[in-house]
Structure 1
């Protein structure tokens, strides 16, 4: 009954790991194997990441399955990723038999209580007659509230007769199934709110647009708004794919992984338009009270959370802009926009200068840029958190139908590989690349075997600095000497692991070998992994370095930074490369 109900909702794929706490559910999946695909993983955390990525990439419900106790606990990290990035995911877990609950039975973890914070809907099935209705409500809630729904089903309920009501002598007739609702509905603001927003924007001066993942699919309309207002467009990292990176309107990202022009822009405006974003890093936004803000947001609760908002517009970005644009008057003064177009030309030249193939060890910027050059125009790049996100943000360009996914607000390590596996399942004909650091890959590297087992042609490119690079630089900026971040010897051979799984595995430590290795991997018909030894002393510098950051960076050197000579040399090389390009 459970699996049939999932099929009624159009669920085609379930990611999970079996266990004796979900034997009944696994039997349901076996009986319907011709209509629903069960993807066997090595770790439940990966299953939750896969469900999240599936939802991000397709807009459809992602479903993950775990056994009772520790199996369900393992889902938590991936489910928080879905929660914080507002993705519809259904988690199904097992539970001990109802007759032993409350007795401290083996692996008795009340997962409905455990998941109370992560979920928008969370129930334990205690009566077989509940099941169809609870599945419907769980899925509707996951879609409507853009979050995690959780159902936990005790063992004895899983194998009970469908529709059984054990507490009634005669079970009443079951009501007919309710058809799944069409999702998602399109929402637009009220006309009076749109007219008020148009008046504010027409009267505004120097304007910027901040576009997030909620503006996905509305890129053409965002560019039209930028043209009318003469306003540069900042993209959040999760919203990187909203506009092409060579768009004449964008100044790229904002924050530690962003660009200097975007940092300058937020200090140089009196009007801000926020489109489909709840950008959390408020210290990178304009000071409250300095700007007038128009925010387009589908979820009313999120309006004004980051910035005081004079005109909240509750609605879809596309529907809102289609209604708003005809109400606006085009600005004839293009000085503001042209100033930041010039700044972006300078920024792009500086980034290109760091992509030198002549550096030894290999510059991570060169690895990212070469991957960018060789990948197809409809490639999907998945990424981990850490320094790898900096290189992807700045050197992986959105063009054509490219997409880009990472853990946004949770910013967890490890999802890059599970994301790639799920998205390749969803889009078997697209090129899918996991761009990972060695730290993130190592956490869930067993899932590369999953990709091989399902013959998924994913490509994994490891930016291997043999360390937790982001932590290293954070320690230095905070003024601490380096501690606990370098893995040392012996170094793991991830290419050998790939070959052991039956895939293509290549190890690279020289820049002149990098191009041939990436071309071979991208052309390989099956899964492939390229493990690239990059310069471990390359700093992921912010777009603009503050005085305090520079001061603490210097103090860390003076307090015994063990690699200060190598780091100083790398920084000097970066400066020389920029001067050469200039």
Structure 2
């Protein structure tokens, strides 16, 4: 690394380092606590762009999504005090989903720290709890050392790095910065040293032995399998294994792939759950799907897990063979030792189950009830996604709808706040996707609760003219929360109703286009018109607030809790009517053991 010019400020060194690490976009909001960095960005805007957001939480979500959609470092920036605290939710999303993100925050002047001055908040202490690298920058000479280390840590350890920079240190020139005798200029290279790690050969042998001896193998694939699709397909074929996909791995295999059983968990499919219940061996590839109750019972199945992070081996289920390394390389080595199973009956049962499940989903999408069922409009949107589409969703009932009613194929991508499952992520994710891939159409499915939290951010999409089509499921409810109140604890729904917002008018007010649809007969015409409209578009879908959110198999405890909760829950009669109607009645019956 060439030593920087003595005339450069700490902020200049930081931004030059970002450029050296191939960062092309910084998301954030200006403020006086970060003015030095903003000036360094201004003077280099021909090489790195600054995307002004309407809220710092959105900036952090966008940085997380940028990392997920590009594989590169996502960067967000905020001023001192409340600017930095607003970042934390989006940074938690990045940390839990292992997205490499660098957060840059301002700090009060170095000689006023911890003196109860304005915005005197120790952001290092707050963000450091979730960071893989965190430091307060002491000087321009210190910045020369730590800026590259922060970038490298975020990328190598797949997490959040944080630099907190006092306002006066941002504008300190390197020539004015005291340097210790051991801190030689240019001693830290601005390079990431790449390598694909290989698993222990003995563990590969053990894994092959376990899987070859098994009769009914199930595969659980997550986002860590994204770079290993062809190897995963070969593994599934050799083992005659159904493949369930964690939500972050939704785009790993096409929904109609012969080995795919779709999602797993509360948002998943019955065939995935049945295969988990019936397998005698489980292969986990790049996933730490958190809902332990959807794994096989301990002792039922022997397990093999592939993960680049050894700390995550055996995190959810007892594992006998752990392959710590790159998923593609690990599967390649494993495939060389697998024997092709002649008995395909376990896979065939899952395939028959998927045929029945898909027909139930299609039946739900054909309903002509008024108020309109949300599956109708989501299914219609899903059928219209072009081959190169990028899809995001928020957290809530809209996540279930996207998971079950939007089939993704080759060349399409999907992202969501996975492990954190935060509301308000869908729109910032979509904006980041559109900025990173301006040649691809972007779609988002969000709920009225989450969308309202960051409603003003739609103006950011308008400002940049993004090819974004955003479907809002407006049921006037925090629907998932309402069903969790009833099914998890047997409590009546409480405090989940939302004041209605006309989102189509809000979109128009911000310079975009808005469309409203409330009846099944309108769906095709409205969607065709909305999708043919250039630029950012909101499709405000007014749907049935009492449509149940059902897991693929309703546990008896949930059924009992629901019966106890309904008598005091508003809309009881409409909920009971929905539960008794098709296709929910068939789904509930099919889900009973």
Provide the TM-score with structure 1 as the length reference. Answer: 0.96
Offset of residue 196 of structure 1: 2.0
Residue from 579, 582, 585 that aligns with 1:571: 579
Structure 1 counterpart of 2:91 = 79
Residue from 282, 285, 302 that aligns with 1:292: 302
Contact 1:87 1:146 in 2 (8 A): yes
Q: Deviations over 1:205-246 (max 9, x none)?
A: 211011111001322221211111111111111111110100
Separation in structure 1 between the aligned mates of residue 240 and residue 382 of structure 2, nearest angstrom: 30
SS of structure 2 residue aligned to 1:122: strand
Contact 2:449 2:498 in 1 (8 A): no
Structure 2 counterpart of 1:367 = 377
Separation in structure 1 between the aligned mates of residue 450 and residue 183 of structure 2, nearest angstrom: 53
Distance 1:334-1:93 versus aligned 2 partners, 3 A rule: same
Separation in structure 2 between the aligned mates of residue 424 and residue 279 of structure 1, nearest angstrom: 27
Offset of residue 289 of structure 1: 2.0
Structure 2 counterpart of 1:449 = 459
Separation in structure 1 between the aligned mates of residue 119 and residue 174 of structure 2, nearest angstrom: 26
Residue from 552, 566, 571 that aligns with 2:561: 552
Separation in structure 2 between the aligned mates of residue 444 and residue 163 of structure 1, nearest angstrom: 43
Contact 2:81 2:107 in 1 (8 A): yes
Q: Deviations over 1:224-282 (max 9, x none)?
A: 11111111111111111110100111111111111111111111111110000111111
Separation in structure 2 between the aligned mates of residue 42 and residue 171 of structure 1, nearest angstrom: 43
Structure 1 counterpart of 2:144 = 132
Matched, 1:26 2:41: no
Structure 1 counterpart of 2:227 = 217
Structure 2 counterpart of 1:358 = 368
Structure 1 counterpart of 2:412 = 402
Separation in structure 1 between the aligned mates of residue 558 and residue 525 of structure 2, nearest angstrom: 39
Separation in structure 2 between the aligned mates of residue 195 and residue 492 of structure 1, nearest angstrom: 59
Identify the range of structure 1 (568-577 vs 128-137) with the bigger mean alpha-carbon deviation: 568-577
Residue from 318, 321, 340 that aligns with 1:311: 321
Identify the range of structure 1 (136-145 vs 63-72) with the bigger mean alpha-carbon deviation: 136-145
Contact 1:353 1:578 in 2 (8 A): no
Matched, 1:487 2:526: no
- Taking the TM superposition and a 5 Å limit, the aligned residue runs for 1:106-117 are 106-117=118-129
Distance 1:164-1:233 versus aligned 2 partners, 3 A rule: same
Gaps of 5+ in 1: none
Distance 1:167-1:5 versus aligned 2 partners, 3 A rule: closer
Matched, 1:331 2:341: yes
Q: Deviations over 1:183-212 (max 9, x none)?
A: 4x2122132321221122111121101111
Offset of residue 338 of structure 1: 0.8
Provide the TM-score with structure 2 as the length reference. Answer: 0.94
Separation in structure 2 between the aligned mates of residue 171 and residue 192 of structure 1, nearest angstrom: 44
SS of structure 2 residue aligned to 1:10: coil
Contact 2:443 2:470 in 1 (8 A): yes
Separation in structure 2 between the aligned mates of residue 262 and residue 493 of structure 1, nearest angstrom: 38
SS of structure 1 residue aligned to 2:278: coil
Residue from 495, 501, 512 that aligns with 2:510: 501
Contact 1:129 1:164 in 2 (8 A): no
Q: Deviations over 1:511-563 (max 9, x none)?
A: 222222222222222111110101111111000011111111111122x1220
Distance 1:576-1:304 versus aligned 2 partners, 3 A rule: closer
- Taking the TM superposition and a 5 Å limit, the aligned residue runs for 1:406-417 are 406-417=416-427
SS of structure 2 residue aligned to 1:273: strand
Contact 1:353 1:577 in 2 (8 A): no
- Taking the TM superposition and a 5 Å limit, the aligned residue runs for 1:118-517 are 118-166=130-178, 174-175=185-186, 178-183=189-194, 185-477=195-487, 478-488=489-499, 491-517=500-526
SS of structure 1 residue aligned to 2:207: helix
Contact 1:375 1:522 in 2 (8 A): no
Contact 1:138 1:150 in 2 (8 A): yes
Distance 1:534-1:121 versus aligned 2 partners, 3 A rule: same
Separation in structure 2 between the aligned mates of residue 381 and residue 434 of structure 1, nearest angstrom: 6
Q: Deviations over 1:281-302 (max 9, x none)?
A: 1111112222111100100111
Contact 1:363 1:535 in 2 (8 A): yes
Contact 2:446 2:471 in 1 (8 A): yes
Backbone CA RMSD of aligned residues: 1.7
Residue from 10, 22, 29 that aligns with 1:17: 29
Separation in structure 2 between the aligned mates of residue 40 and residue 163 of structure 1, nearest angstrom: 31
Q: Deviations over 1:416-468 (max 9, x none)?
A: 00000001000001110111000000000110001111111211110110110
Distance 1:188-1:576 versus aligned 2 partners, 3 A rule: closer
